[in-house]
Structure 1
Amino acid sequence: MMRGLYLSFAFLTTSLGSRQGEPTAPLATRGSGILRSSVRSVAGQRGPQRVRRQDSVGLKNHNDGTLYTIDLSIGTPGQPVTVIIDTGSSDLWVNPVCETSGQPSFCSSFPQFDYTSSSTLQDTGAADILSYGKGNVTLEYVTDLVAIGSAQIKDQVFGVGVESYDIPVGILGLSPPTSDAQTQYSFVLDSLVSQGLIESRAFSLDLRNVDDPNGSVIFGGIDTGKFIGSLEKCPILDPTETPSGADRYWITMTGVGITLPDGESQTSDAIEVPVFLDSGGTLSRLPTAIYQAIGDSFPGAQLDQSSGFYYVDCGVGKQAGSVDFIFNNKKIAVPYADFIWEVDEGQCVVGVLPTDDGKASSSCSACVDES
């Protein structure tokens, strides 16, 4: 449950399309300047807690909610390093501290970068503390060779964790640096463009569930075989227009609806709700009124006041019905099966929670069929 998603991102606009069924042909290069990586899903720990290039690089879905990871090669000689691919942040960093990760066994299952063994690493002398929705990391910035498949980024700045909490895997951030505050160094996407490895900062993700290993990430463009219909261009909001004031893929959701198993459909009046698209998030977090309307609409849903989750019979996921998100002229109908999270065997919840302050701040990845 909580299955696939296809998202296409660009620096100034975000395009949404209806996802196609299973592809009948493998990914194809759409011209020069495209870097293609395969996606692989791997189950993890459960439980709700509040180019010219054609490279085969794994991207894995860990169902701890859902973490999508990509394998990089860092240093000289190259060392394999696994990181979360995250559209909600910008920095690349590696080496979380497993003892304080909250999931030490899971964390220890991934290789760490031995910076003392790289002949090309340079220390920048800079350090920082990065905070996330859950967890934080203190890191020191270095430069070194970073490779995604055969695409090698020279002198890429990234962080090496020296202290971290509640984060089991390093992170590759892909969010847009739309303000001057985020231009202190070149992020991975910018470096791919500036070094001629891809033609544009656009990228697209096709993310799947743990039962479907066939997904993909494409840097520099999109794969038109992954969706049907037209794309909808949605302007990325300026940080001053968003609840968080942060540089993220904030766009405007203009409506929300429910299609019940009997086919009856209800749609809200026109709304303007800023939401951001976050591959690092498991659940949608929406204003309280929308959260309640979605949760109450699921057959037999029972609200657990202590956690905020709506619990439903797991069999509901086999029923027809969808949660419908509207972005201008495009409606994304998310089937029940894709919007229900099985938190334990035989125990399922609706994949939405309210924002803490009731504002329109959302991890809206589930809005377009992600978990």
Structure 2
Amino acid sequence: MASSLLTAILSLTALSSAITIPRRDIESNFLKLPAVAVDKPQTQHEAKRQEVLPLANSQTGTRYIINFSIGTPPQSVSVALDTGSSDTWVNPTCSAAGIQDSIDLCNSFPLYDPSASTTSDDTGISISLAYGKGAAEVEYFTDDFLLGGTKVVAQQFGVASSSSDLPTGLMGVGPGIELTGYPTIIDQLASQGITNSRAFSLDLRDVDSSNGAIIFGGIDTMKYIGPLEKCPIIPAASAPDGFDRYWINMNSVGITKSGDIPKVYPDSSTPVFLDSGGTLSRLPTPIFNAIVADFPGATLDTSGSGLYIVDCSVASQSGTVDFAFGNTIVHVPYHEFIWFAGNNTCFVGVAADDSAPVLGDSFLRAAFVVYDQDNQNLHLANTADCGTNVVAIGKGPDAVPSITGGC
């Protein structure tokens, strides 16, 4: 799904990865997939669409890569997880991936060969996919997906004939069949009985963590604090951009400086779209101006990006940027909200946007979020880590367990 670009400066960073064996709990109807985190090479115009997966993170632009297999026999693929789109596709054109580091990153991932799979079927349908940065021409196939040892039969997905400015394919976990016209991976997991319903939880973790996860059909009660706040998803007809995405209403934004009392900005209620594909958050200009005015030592970037530079040492201060949803306030520590762009350059993790406000990774690193497509709700809490206890998401209007976080 198309989204606007931000302008910022990113240093090139080396590829880092750590492969973890996924967990499939057949009896409990959930599927937990860790992911590898790789540094995302970018030019200064690519700050918005940073596709990333559950979950290892780093202090520069990072994309979260999910590893699984397609076909018979299984062929390994690596794609980026994106809550901002709904199509899954593979095989980006590496020669057109952008700068050399993006090309090298793209070439480090395996490609899928439909002709080498006995279960592959070409639908004969082609489509153009456009993103905030990059585009792809894909042809739809169906084939079996193997996710952590669990088979999803005859999943439809795209195989790119060409793409630009995208070093990986994507696994879109946004709202499904209403947009794509075919059952997405979230739809298929539920319809094939792997999960109880079309729901998953996402836990990006903080910039210093080496772990994170997406849990299809489940939540980990030891990864958050307090209750899960239920937030109705705004229907497309009422959404700021008119699209069926993960839009919810945010009650307010504020800041708590180190040693000060919390400050709430007036008139800071706004619809927001939760997007794991965005490095930064993007908020209406009055809210943006209030945050950067209060952020310690923030100064306008003279390169014209519209962003604010901050001394990287501010990350060690104990302040938070505070986002309120119903009775829950998600407190984002400075060290999560600051974007470490490399070369000792740090930015306040927010940009101005008066058309389609987004809470990206600078917010999501501090939030545990459950995406319930069946009931059209998101559930939010402050992230934490005090062990693991995965509980299945059920069916019906109360599918997401009302369990207070164990931390």
Q: CA deviation at 1:295?
A: 1.3
8 Å contact from structure 2 (residues 255, 262) kept in 1: yes
Task: Call closer, same or farther: CA 1:131–1:288 in 2, change over 3 Å.
Answer: same
* Structure 1 contact 140–159 (Cα < 8 Å) conserved: yes
What's 1:187 paired with? 184
Contact 1:61/1:69 (8 A) holds in 2: no
Q: Which residue of 2 aligns with 1:218?
A: 215
Give yes or no for the alignment of 1:297 onto 2:294: yes
C-alpha separation in 1, matches of 2:346 and 2:130: 29
Alignment RMSD, CA only? 2.4
Of 331, 334, 340, the match for 1:333: 331
Would the alpha carbon gap of residues 61 and 148 (structure 1) be closer, same or farther in structure 2, given more than 3 Å must change? farther
Q: In the TM superposition, what are the counterparts of 1:1-371 in structure 2 within 5 Å? A: 32-45=28-41, 48-50=44-46, 59-61=55-57, 65-102=61-98, 103-177=102-176, 179=178, 182=179, 184-209=181-206, 211-269=208-266, 271-305=268-302, 306-355=304-353, 358-369=354-365
Shift of 1:85: 0.7
SS of 1:276's equivalent in the other structure is strand
In structure 1, what residue type is equivalent to 2:225? I
> 2:297 touches 2:311 (CA, 8 Å); kept in 1?
yes
User: How far, CA to CA, are the matches of 1:251 and 1:204 in structure 2?
Assistant: 16
Distance 1:62 1:258, change over 3 A: closer
Task: Output the TM-score relative to the length of structure 1.
Answer: 0.84
SS at match of 1:222: strand
Give a deviation string over 1:29-68, Cα, whole Å, max 9, x none: 6962111122443434366534xxxxxx985547662311
Q: 1:159 to 1:89 in 2, by over 3 A?
A: same
Q: For structure 1, which segment, 185-194 or 288-297, has the greater mean C-alpha deviation from structure 2 after superposition?
A: 288-297
Partners of 1:261 and 1:27 in 2: CA distance: 40
In the TM superposition, residue 266 of structure 1 has moved relative to its aligned partner by: 0.8
Gaps in structure 1 of 5+ consecutive residues: 1-25, 51-56
The offset of 1:271, in angstroms, is 4.4
Q: Secondary structure at the match of 2:253?
A: strand
Query: Relative to 1, partners in 2 of residues 1:239 and 1:165: Cα closer, same or farther, differing over 3 Å?
Result: same
Task: Give the TM-score normalised by structure 2.
Answer: 0.77
- Relative to structure 1, the CA distance from residue 326 to residue 58 in structure 2 (aligned partners, 3 Å threshold; closer, same or farther) is closer
Look up the SS of the partner of 2:358 in the other structure: coil
Q: Secondary structure at the match of 1:76?
A: coil
Deviations 1:125-156 (A, max 9, x none): 10000111111111000110111111111111
Q: Residue 138 and residue 363 in structure 1: after superposition, are their counterparts in 2 closer, same or farther (change >3 A)?
A: farther
Kindly tell me the number of residue pairs found equivalent between the two proteins: 336
How far 1:69 moved relative to its partner?
Answer: 1.1
